[in-house]
Structure 1
Amino acid sequence: MENDVEASNIIDGAKPEVHGRCDLHTHTQASDGMQPPAENVRIARHKGLAAVAITDHDTVSGVAEALEAGLKYGITVVPGVEISTRAEGKEIHVLGYYIDTHQELFLSRLAEQRDTRAKRNASIIGKLRGLGINITLDNVVAGIGRELKPDESIGRPHIADELVRLGAAADMREAFDKYLATGAAAYVSPPRITPELACEWIIEAGGTPVLAHPGIYGDDELVRGILTRSSLRGIEVYHSDHTPADEERYLEMAEEFGLVVTGGSDFHGARQGVIFHGDLGSVTVSADVLERLKG
C-alpha cells in the first residue's frame, strides 16, 4: 500500500472505488501527526475508504478543516479526539467519536489537558538536558517548521525528531526506546484524569467513548477493570500494534461487555522515512460501525 508521501503525489481528481471501510484512528498536525487534516482526508479518499476519523491528542482543532475536505472529496469525516488519562500508574488513551466540537465546556477541559501536556514536555526537556543533551523546547518547536496554533500541542514524536537532529538518537525508534518510552531515561508521566472521567466528558459532549489500543498497555486485568468501572461504549480491537492474538482477546471482551468493535491505523505520518504507527487505511473496520458510534 502506498505511503503518505506517495499518496500526496496522486492527482486530486482521482476517484477510486469506495469499499465501505473506515480508518477510525488518525492524527494530524493539530497534535503530533505530520499531515494537515485535509491531507489525511484526501489520502483516505485515494485509498478507497468510505470514512476517516480525526482523533488528535487532547484537541479538536483539526476537525473543521477535515470536515470541509470531506465535502470536497466525497468522504465521511468522523469528528473525534484522543484523551490522555492515567490508571494504576499507566497512561491510558480514550477515543471520543461524534463529540460536539463546539461545546465550550468540552473545549475548556481539553485546554486543561494540553496544559498538563505542556508541563510534561518541559519536564522531559529538563531530564534530557540533565543527561547532557543540548535540547530546548524552542528548538523542538522550530523543528516543526511552522507556527503552532493556540490549540495545538507538542508531543513526544516532536521531541524525538529533535533528538535525531541533534544526533542523540539514530532514529525515532531509538529516541523512544532510549529516552521517551515508558520507563526510559527521560520518561515523564504527569498526573492525569481517570479513564472514567474522560468517558464522562465525552458523553457530556454528545460523543461515544472508546478504549484505544488496549494491547499497548500490556495488562489485560487493568483493561478489564477499566471496562468494568467506566461508561466506555466501545473498544479498539483492531490497531497497527495489535497481534492476531490481541484481536481475538479483545473481540471476546467486546462481546462480554457489549461494546462496539472499532479499529484504526493510529496514523501519524512519516518521520525519518518511517510511518508511525501504521499507514493510513492499513487497519480498518466496516463503515457500518459508524451508526453504532452515533448512537
Structure 2
Amino acid sequence: MDKSMNRTGCDLHSHTQASDGMNTPSENVQLAFGRGLGALAITDHDTVAGVEEALQAGERLNMIVVPGVEISTMAGGTDIHVLGYYIDYQDPVFLERLAELRRTRGERNEKIMAKLRGLGIELTMEEVIGGLGRPLEPDESIGRPHIADALVLKGHALDLRDAFDRYLAQGAAAYVPQPRIHPKEACEWIREAGGVPVLAHPGLYGDDALVRAVIEEAAFKGIEVYHSDHGAAEEKRYLAMAEAYGLIVTAGSDYHGERQGQVFHGDIGSRQVSIQVLDELQQARARS
C-alpha cells in the first residue's frame, strides 16, 4: 500500500462517461485524489471501457485505482446490481459477455424511443448520443440517464428525477423491462475473470429476504454496507448481515457526477471504508 501511506479512505463505487457518469475516468481519479482518498474503484455499468484511463491517472497521481464493473442482473422480479473488483479487464471472454449485455441494453433503448414516440415525443438515439457533446467511444454504455438528459434538454421534463418519474422508471409511461441475467451468473463471470463479486446497495431493493436469498445462492464475497442512499438503519442492518454471512464490508458513493446542478447519488468520498479492505478483497480473490 505504498501509494497511499497517508491516505486511508477508499471509495469503491464510481461511474464515468464510459457508462452514465458525467466525468472522464481521469477526472474521477483527480477528484478522489483531491478529497484525500487513498483508493477509488471505477465501476461502470456493463463496461470496463474507463478502467485503463483511470489506472493511468492513478499512476500519475501515485494513487490506487481498483479496476471494477457493475453488472445489471435480476432476481425475484427486482433489478440487482453486482459489483466486481480486481477483474481482468482485458479478458476476452469477459469482454464479450459485457458486450452482449450492452447489446441487450441498446435494444431496450430503441423500445423506449418507440414508446416515447407513441406518447407524442419525437426523440431519437442520435439525439441522445448527440447530447453527450462528444463522440460515443467503443464499448461505452448508453442508458436511461442519457435519455433523461435528452428529455430535459428538449423540454419534456423539468429535471432528471421528473424524466424518470414520468417516463423511464419502472411503471412509468415509457418504461421497458430489460432481460437480465441472474446475480449468480454475474458472480460466476466475475470470478472467472479473476475478480471478487460484491452485492451493490442492498437497501435499494426494498426486500431483505430477497437480499439474503441472492447472497446465499450467488456466493457473494462482499456487501456494500455504506452507500449514499443508505441511512443509519440500513447501515446497521447490512453490517449485521455482513457479519452473519462472513462478507467483506465495502462502501461506495455511487458517484455519477453532476446533472442539472445535482450530484447523483453522492459525491466522491461521501461513503468510504479503510483502504485495508483492499487487502481483504485481494485475499478473497486469491482464495477464488
Identify the TM-score tier after normalising by the shorter chain.
over 0.9
Residue 7 of structure 1 is matched in structure 2 by none
Residue 254 of structure 1 is matched in structure 2 by 242
- Say whether residues 1:210 and 2:198 are aligned partners: yes
Q: Secondary structure at the match of 2:213?
A: helix
Q: CA deviation at 1:253?
A: 0.7
Structure 1 contact 31–57 (Cα < 8 Å) conserved: yes
Q: Secondary structure at the match of 1:144?
A: coil
- Say whether residues 1:56 and 2:44 are aligned partners: yes
The letter of the residue matching 1:161 is: D
Q: Secondary structure at the match of 2:220?
A: coil
Matches within 5 A, 1:84-103: 84-103=72-91
Q: Distance in 2 between matches of 1:81 and 1:114?
A: 13
Q: Distance in 2 between matches of 1:113 and 1:292?
A: 29
Q: Distance in 2 between matches of 1:152 and 1:138?
A: 15
TM-score by length of 1: 0.93
Structure 1 contact 83–94 (Cα < 8 Å) conserved: yes
The letter of the residue matching 2:183 is: P
Q: Distance in 2 between matches of 1:293 and 1:129?
A: 46
Q: Secondary structure at the match of 2:235?
A: helix
The letter of the residue matching 2:179 is: P
Which stretch of structure 1 is more off in the superposition, 95-104 or 116-125?
A: 116-125
- Say whether residues 1:22 and 2:10 are aligned partners: yes
Residue 294 of structure 1 is matched in structure 2 by 282
Q: Secondary structure at the match of 1:78?
A: strand
The letter of the residue matching 1:243 is: G
Matches within 5 A, 1:102-251: 102-251=90-239
Structure 1 contact 85–193 (Cα < 8 Å) conserved: yes
The letter of the residue matching 1:188 is: V
Structure 1 contact 199–209 (Cα < 8 Å) conserved: yes
Residue 65 of structure 1 is matched in structure 2 by 53
Structure 1 contact 21–51 (Cα < 8 Å) conserved: yes
Matches within 5 A, 1:254-273: 254-273=242-261
Residue 8 of structure 1 is matched in structure 2 by none
Structure 1 contact 25–267 (Cα < 8 Å) conserved: yes
Runs of 4+ residues over 6 Å off in structure 1: none
1:230-289 superposed Cα distances (whole Å, 9 cap, x missing partner): 121000011111111111111111011100000100000001111111111111111010
Question: How many residues were matched structurally?
Answer: 280
Q: Distance in 2 between matches of 1:93 and 1:135?
A: 28
Residue 3 of structure 1 is matched in structure 2 by none
TM-score by length of 2: 0.95
Which runs of 5 or more structure 1 residues have no equivalent in the other structure?
1-15
Q: CA deviation at 1:19?
A: 3.4
Q: Distance in 1 between matches of 2:121 and 2:189?
A: 39
Which stretch of structure 1 is more off in the superposition, 72-81 or 171-180?
A: 171-180
Instruction: Compute the RMSD of aligned alpha carbons.
Output: 1.2
Percent of residue pairs bearing the same amino acid type: 63
For residue 42 of structure 1, the aligned residue among 30, 49, 52 is 30
Q: Distance in 2 between matches of 1:87 and 1:140?
A: 30
1:116-172 superposed Cα distances (whole Å, 9 cap, x missing partner): 111111111111111111111110000011111120011111011001011111011
Q: Distance in 2 between matches of 1:159 and 1:18?
A: 41
Q: Distance in 1 between matches of 2:42 and 2:174?
A: 29
Q: Distance in 2 between matches of 1:42 and 1:177?
A: 33
The letter of the residue matching 1:200 is: E
Structure 1 contact 32–268 (Cα < 8 Å) conserved: yes
Q: 1:125 to 1:72 in 2, by over 3 A?
A: same
For residue 32 of structure 1, the aligned residue among 20, 42, 63 is 20
